[in-house]
Amino acid sequence: MTGNPVFDEIADLLTEQRNPSTVAIDRIPTTEILELINREDQGVPAAVARVIPEIARAVEMIVDAFRQGGRLLYVGAGTSGRLGILDAAECLPTFGIPQGMVKGIIAGGPEALVGPVEGAEDHVEDGVVAMRGEGVSERDVVVGITASRRTPYVVGALTEAKRLGAMTVLIACNPSSKTEIDVDVLLCPVVGPEVIAGSTRMKAGTAQKLILNMLTTASMIRIGKVYSNLMVDLQPTSQKLIERSKRIVMMCGGLSYQQAQVILKETGGDVKRALVMALSGVTAEEAEKRLVEVGGFVGEAIKLSTFPHSGSADVSTSLV
């Protein structure tokens, strides 16, 4: 013990320890360096798999929040904060969600996305202010992301979010710490020491990214943003996404390229309505009515058909 609480706290962290497998990494050829990194990375998915029951609990909380009009907010610093913002940003075009439904918040603000903001993570009160500024309430879920489990900004944000009534989740990669945070769900994939001691953008960051993928993807599936394994609420905001929309309608509806183009034009590019039209033989207006009735689930809207469209017989084959 040195008497410096921050030094002593960091010294105890698993992610700060030296990895015995890589102590000679600065003295080996490039190919061997890469092989070492790759071998270490292979343990990350297994570490994530061990916390799937806890991830499932977090997903259920997020789904409940979405159904009540609430939000999913990610909070982090450095790499962890950037990963949260990346996942949130990707949800908009992929799942067609409203702006702000999933949002990433990073210590230091937008400037910290492209470079370090010195000391931004060190202030508990800044995390508190961030939660108040977001208007966090009991309808929201706040996910703190910190490999070390002790980042002051994230600790402050989660503590304040809990006080404001939000459900809280912590993603960390250290199994224990002197800083204990009261959260509803703790996700702790233990990935061990990094290839380069303390470089948590590596294995810890990879584990965080995998978990964020699971949280949002599973939640979006549960609220009807996916039909089979296809993104049916995507926003056709680029040429690629416009063509992807046509391909989805073609695959599911057994339509030609031209037919898919026509039906999507009728729906203003809305893939869900186009699919219900193609598979149920109904108008765009009726398709919209059915989707509203079943909460946006394409499969359920199609089941409302008394006389299915002839193209629907090939749907199961087209989705294999």
Interval 68-107: pLDDT, tens:
999 999 999 999 999 999 999 999 999 999 999 999 999 9
Cβ contact 106:76 at 8 Å: yes
pLDDT at 14: 86
pLDDT at 1: 65
Active-site annotation holder among 16, 40, 121, 194: 121
Active-site annotation holder among 9, 54, 90, 286: 90
Find the distance separating the first CA and the last CA of the chain, reported in whole Å: 60
Statement: 8-222 belongs to CATH 2.30.22.10: no
Map out the domains of the chain as residue ranges: 8-222, 226-318
- Residues 222 and 61: their CA atoms lie apart, in Å, by 11
The CATH architecture that domain 226-318 belongs to is Orthogonal Bundle (1.10)
Q: Does an H or E element contain 74, and which?
A: strand 72-76
Mean pLDDT of 220-236: 95
Active site residue 121: yes
pLDDT, tens only, 176-189: 655 578 999 999 99
How deeply is 311 buried, as exposed, middle or buried, from its count of CB atoms within 10 A (0-12, 13-18, 19+)?
middle
Mean pLDDT of 106-116: 93
Active site residue 90: yes
Cα maximum dimension of the chain: 77
Mean pLDDT, rounded, of the chain: 92
pLDDT at 79: 95
pLDDT at 198: 92
pLDDT at 81: 97
Mean pLDDT of 50-79: 98
How deeply is 314 buried, as exposed, middle or buried, from its count of CB atoms within 10 A (0-12, 13-18, 19+)?
middle
Residue of 205, 176, 203, 191 lying closest to 77 (CA atoms): 205
pLDDT, tens only, 252-284: 999 999 999 999 999 999 999 999 999 999 999
Which carries the bigger pLDDT value, residue 48 or residue 118?
Answer: 48
Mean pLDDT of 143-170: 96
- Residues 38 and 220: their CA atoms lie apart, in Å, by 31
Same-fold call for 8-222 versus 226-318:
no
Q: Is the pLDDT of residue 195 over 80?
A: yes
